Amino acid sequence: MSERESMPYDVVIVGGGPAGLAASIRLKQANPDVSVCVLEKGSEVGAHILSGAVVDPKALDELLPEWREMGCPMAETPVTDNWHWVLTKTGKTAIPHWPMPPFMSNDGNYTGSLGNLCRWMAEQAMELGVEIFPGFPAAEVLFDENGAVMGVATGDMGIGKDGEKKADYQPGMELHAKYTLFAEGARGSLTKRLKAHFDLERDCQPQVYGIGIKELWDIDPEKHVPGRVLHTQGWPLSESNSWGGGFLYHQANNQIAIGFVVALDYANPYVYPFEEFQRWKQHPAIREVLEGGRRVSYGARAINEGGWQSVPRLSFPGGALIGCSAGFVNVPRIKGSHTAMKSGMLAAETIVAAIAAGREKDDMVEYDAAVRDSWIAKELKKVQNAQPLVAKFGGELGTVLAGADMWLRTIGGFGIWKPMKHHRDSEATQRADLYKPIAYPKPDGVITFDRLTSVAFSYTNHEEDQPSHLVLKDPTVPTRINLPIYAGPEARYCPAGVYEYVGVDEGNPRLQINAQNCVHCKTCDIKDMTQNIEWVTPEGGGGPNYPNM
């Protein structure tokens, strides 16, 4: 007999991000009597939320039409100025916006903290009667006797590194539901298992990802232009034949959000995304903005980049995927919050109708159909070849071809290519002997920094005496395959210094996992060549505590 207690709800939502919170609000708007619970693994709502962010308010306008007058922090800074640069090592070329399709404009959008938006949305949800439990990660999917999802269980608390129960041990709680929504964000640990269990990716392309690394800076007020949005491409990734780009957003209170995204399909195992970000900050045009300022926060998170052809089947008996668990990011626009929220709203509307009809724990195929008939699909189909064209043809030619494909899909409903295929990021890394190591400059401590100093600015904390939440399926793989063949890329692709090869000089190498540094970005779970690393939820409340990110 299970020692875990259980609580029944009509709907359980895993994840307190934009999709999960939008779903909870819409559920209560549609039927105030529906009981709704949101589980959030961070210490508070917003603690694990990291995004640029420039937000298209389309979904927010549908969900809460008066949000601008309701004290929403995102309303503070509308976009006023939109720039796009192609960088060389010391120069830049501005790309005008007139050759781009109209939907690429940021007119009418807002820049600010997605974490603070989620905190505000959580307040609106709780006022409607939604129960939100921060610090309780969903660690297990529960199935009923018919194989349908019947809810989730939170992780046990008080388990030591040795796997034994400590004096403060508390078993997890089971939350049972008529329907369970999974809104875990990119590469969710339970979503990954559900995709495999129900074969949800049978008819779609594999999801691909980028790693986004971000800092907040307080800058000289004379350099601050509220609402200015800047994106860059080209250098420094052009030197390693990788792709991605930088962003610099002027937000409220003389603060800027800067960041760098590296597509995780890079081939050269010596590429070091964190150090590419540091190099980018030293570009004269970027450094000029940062000089005289100070860094106040740091973080990183994986981003879905697969687009429409990577969207899996969204529903299964007892539940559904919403938001970035499904993968609705519009890569050329660098936006996914609005599509994530809309998917949560569509799922909520489907659930309310199903419950009213006396249904529960069945396959909500109507939700999957609703998404594929919504403006989410219309928007993502226009850009579905942008990422793969750049990945195939490189930054310069790929960008031109992507622009042509987007224009054709906007005007004529067809592209220059049929929907293109993807290859898993884990399969892209090539042998180290095909490349030379990259010499990255040392940090200056003013504009550029080292990784461990940076992690301190993510305010990450984990209970040290607990089993590692970064699990090696085969402990011999790192020193048997990853280090000798690929030069140990996990020591570089992790933006938090979690993975460290020690004893190399002594001829007795081993992989040390500093799990307490983990910022929950999920890059290791995605990029590891042998898919030997599995990210599982740590003890409740562990991880970063992002302020204003």
Q: What is the pLDDT of residues 513-539, one digit of tens each?
A: 999 999 999 999 999 999 999 999 998
Q: How confident is the model at residue 412 (pLDDT cuts 50, 70, 90)?
A: confident
The number of residues in the chain equals 549
Q: Are 493 and 273 in contact (CB under 8 A)?
A: yes
Answer yes or no: same fold for 6-67+115-205+308-382 and 76-111+207-304.
no
Strand partners, 22: none
The predicted structure's pLDDT at residue 62: 98
Domain formed by 76-111+207-304, architecture: 2-Layer Sandwich (3.30)
Structure token digits, residue 400:
């031109």
d(CA 215, CA 258): 5
Q: What is the pLDDT of residues 82-129, one digit of tens each?
A: 999 999 999 999 988 777 777 778 899 999 999 999 999 999 999 999
Q: How confident is the model at residue 384 (pLDDT cuts 50, 70, 90)?
A: confident
In this prediction, residues 182-206 reach a mean pLDDT of: 97
The predicted structure's pLDDT at residue 328: 96
Structure token digits, residue 42:
């961070």
Q: Domain ranges in the chain?
A: 6-67+115-205+308-382, 76-111+207-304, 385-418
The predicted structure's pLDDT at residue 2: 53
* 268-291 CB burial, b ≥16 within 10 A, e <16: bbbbbbbbbbbbbbbbeebeebbe
The radius of gyration of the chain from alpha carbons, rounded to an integer in Å, stands at 22
Q: What is the pLDDT of residues 433-475, one digit of tens each?
A: 999 999 999 999 999 999 999 999 999 999 889 999 999 999 9
**Can you tell me whether residue 371 is helix, strand or coil?**
helix
What ranges in 433-500 are assigned the alpha helix state H?
Answer: 451-456, 477, 483-486, 490-493
DSSP letters for 56-78? -THHHHHH-TTGGGTT-GGGG-B
Q: Please state, in angstroms and as integers, the Cα–Cα distance from residue 284 to each residue in 88, 253, 275, 288, following that order.
A: 10, 24, 17, 6
Strands (E), 219-360: 228-234, 244-250, 255-263, 294-304, 315-316, 319-321
The predicted structure's pLDDT at residue 408: 81
More confident of the two residues 93 and 2:
93
Q: CA nearest 520: which of 302, 329, 350?
A: 302
Q: What is the pLDDT of residues 222-260, one digit of tens each?
A: 999 999 999 999 999 999 999 999 999 999 999 999 999
Question: Inter-axis angle of helices 395-411 and 386-393, to 10 degrees?
Answer: 150
Q: What is the pLDDT of residues 309-322, one digit of tens each?
A: 999 999 999 999 99
How much of the chain, in percent, has pLDDT values that exceed 90?
86
Q: How confident is the model at residue 357 (pLDDT cuts 50, 70, 90)?
A: very high
For 59-66, which contacts have Cβ atoms below 8 Å and span 24 or more sequence positions? 59/22, 59/337, 59/338, 59/339, 59/340, 59/341, 59/342, 59/345, 60/338, 60/341, 62/342, 62/345, 63/22, 63/25, 63/26, 63/341, 63/345, 64/25, 64/124
Task: Tell me the pLDDT of the chain averaged across its residues.
Answer: 94
Q: Are 268 and 431 in contact (CB under 8 A)?
A: no
d(CA 523, CA 495): 8
Number of H helices, E strands in the chain: 16, 23
The predicted structure's pLDDT at residue 32: 98
Residue 1 above 70 pLDDT?
no
Strand partners, 180: 12, 319
Structure token digits, residue 96:
């005008």
CATH 3.60.20.10 describes domain 6-67+115-205+308-382: no
The predicted structure's pLDDT at residue 102: 75
d(CA 101, CA 224): 28
How much of the chain, in percent, has pLDDT values that exceed 70?
100
Structure token digits, residue 114:
């997605």
Residue 59 above 50 pLDDT?
yes
Structure token digits, residue 277:
């970000």
